[in-house]
Structure 1
Amino acid sequence: MRPASAPKIVLILGSAPDAVRSREWQRAPFDAIVAINNAWRVRDDWNYLVHAGDFPQSAMPVPDLARDRKIHTASDYVPAQNAYGGFVYAGATMSLTSAYWALHRLKPDVLAFLGCDMNYDQAGPTHFYGYGNADPLRPDVTLQSLEAKTGRLMISAARQGCICVNLSRLDTSRLVFPRVDIDELAEWSPRDAQLRIDSVLRQVDEAQLLRAEIRERTLGYYFPSGEYWLFLDQIDARELRCLDDLWLAALGRKETAPTPECSETVWKVAAAR
């Protein structure tokens, strides 16, 4: 039974094979369900569908199913992602884009992810509907480290008063969020959510976080249209790799060493500005 006083929980539902586990779950823990692309087919009580610009019309829900739901496209999520620094820094894949949209629009206490592990190394189907394109693994300058990008999201959410959690039971995940069981999450009080937010914020290395934020402003890779691919000649992949290292360092990931391209000069320039 859900507590009388409960945090606002939003489910971000992707298309990984284990997304179908959510069909067994009660609706009660979730204040809203955000389906990404084909994930609207997983369960029929979603509230929002956020889809990519190239999502085919033939894959959209039929009008009767879409009635009283909201469908969001680039005109909605580009401004939302811009509010958190834009696609180059936030990462241009729909799991991240949908999450930043939800943070901006729905302002949850908890963002709970299922089917968004972005792990394609395991044998068998890549998606609940079979095989699909591994969008996060495409050669894209904004997606060189999914761990850094999801870490940036987790820090951004925590600073806004929201904890990101992963409901997946897969052995590995590219998400750096803490794992939580659905039965445990359903019993959370607002204090439970706040304690976990505080834990994330205590984990953050503030000096490295400041370096990362200053570095983003210094680089200036901000393109309000969201069409960063039109400006690739202005984006240095090496600089973004170094920026990813800073975000990982801000998370206190001690096992992460600077990439060889990140000289001491590159690492120190942000702190000197």
Structure 2
Amino acid sequence: MGVQMKILIIGSAPDSIRARHWNMDLFDRVIVINNAWKVTTKWDELIFPHDFPEENEPTILLNHQKTITEEQFVPAQNLFGGFVYAGATMAFTAGYWALAHHKPSTICFLGCNMHYSQNEPTHFYGQGQPDPMRNDISLTSLQACSHRMLILAKNQGCDMVSLSPGEFNLHVPQISPDDVARYQSSFLISEPKVKEALSLEKQLNYYVEDGRYWTKAHLFSRSKLVKLDQIWIDALSSNAPN
């Protein structure tokens, strides 16, 4: 691979505030999701969905900062099969955006564990909407969505890791920030399973070009997507995060 680019993606989980004390020079790009732009001023791209409230957007952008909206990230995610297969929640969307646009060597997630405790704050700013847990045709298995993204990234020459400890629904390897530079993946990918999964995706053809998959949700079979989920889950060895 050519240039070794490291990207940090910051979500809104309570531990995302750890980034305030980090040396961001470790990363070539910092992408923040939704309200996570409030975590640190040292970010480059703010990515948010079409229904993100305008009043929650920053009023001033520094010269190196820009926003990424569906106009940019929908075509990027379509390069990897679209939202139904990728999982329509912003941690996955940000991951695929980074893969498509920046083609990095490493993507690190912080504050994207997508695990919510009942009696504790869900987000760094208090209580928020646990979007990944909603009943959605594209989110039948967060583990399968994670494995899919991890595998497609690895096949592009990119490692994905989480810098957040604790319980998770983002199934990528968890490491310390100190280990990013020397990280080497240890999981094994079953190429026959990957081929089977991609073949089934092509056969089902659950592709919606404009990204508004929910307008056609009645055309998608949940049972067939659950079958697809299991193939993606089985496509990684037991050494993979589960």
Q: Same fold (TM over 0.5)?
A: yes
Displacement of 1:67 after TM fit? 4.1
Report % sequence identity: 42
Cα distance per residue 1:151-194 (max 9 Å; x no partner): 1000010000000001002x211122111111222xx2xxx45x
Amino acid in the other structure paired with 1:240: L
Richer in helix (by share)? 1
Give the equivalent residue in structure 1 for 2:170: 175
Q: Quick check: 1:77 aligned with 2:62?
A: no
Give the equivalent residue in structure 2 for 1:152: 148
Give the equivalent residue in structure 2 for 1:224: 209
Q: Quick check: 1:214 aligned with 2:209?
A: no
Cα distance per residue 1:7-45 (max 9 Å; x no partner): 311001000000001111011111000000000000001
Amino acid in the other structure paired with 2:57: M
Give the equivalent residue in structure 2 for 1:58: 55
Give the equivalent residue in structure 1 for 2:42: 45
Give the equivalent residue in structure 1 for 2:107: 111
Equivalent position to 1:16, from 13, 16, 40: 13
Give the equivalent residue in structure 2 for 1:268: none
Amino acid in the other structure paired with 1:68: H
**CA–CA distance in 2 between the matches of 1:107 and 1:27?**
19
Give the direction of change, closer, same or farther, for the CA distance of 1:28–1:68 in structure 2 (3 Å limit). closer
**CA–CA distance in 1 between the matches of 2:117 and 2:200?**
32
Structure 2 segments unaligned to the other structure (5+ residues): none
**CA–CA distance in 2 between the matches of 1:17 and 1:143?**
22
**CA–CA distance in 2 between the matches of 1:21 and 1:56?**
25
Q: Quick check: 1:184 aligned with 2:179?
A: yes
Displacement of 1:68 after TM fit? 3.2
Amino acid in the other structure paired with 1:99: G
**CA–CA distance in 2 between the matches of 1:14 and 1:66?**
20
**CA–CA distance in 2 between the matches of 1:49 and 1:32?**
11
**CA–CA distance in 1 between the matches of 2:6 and 2:196?**
31
Amino acid in the other structure paired with 1:183: D
**CA–CA distance in 1 between the matches of 2:152 and 2:94?**
14
RMSD, aligned CA: 1.8
Give the equivalent residue in structure 2 for 1:30: 27
Structure 1 segments unaligned to the other structure (5+ residues): 1-5, 255-273
Q: Quick check: 1:94 aligned with 2:67?
A: no
**CA–CA distance in 2 between the matches of 1:97 and 1:238?**
23
Give the equivalent residue in structure 2 for 1:266: none
TM-score of the two chains, using structure 2 as the length reference: 0.94
Give the equivalent residue in structure 1 for 2:190: 205
Q: Quick check: 1:233 aligned with 2:218?
A: yes
**CA–CA distance in 1 between the matches of 2:130 and 2:96?**
20
**CA–CA distance in 2 between the matches of 1:36 and 1:165?**
17
Displacement of 1:253 after TM fit? 4.8
SS at match of 1:207: helix
Displacement of 1:126 after TM fit? 0.2
What is the aligned length? 239
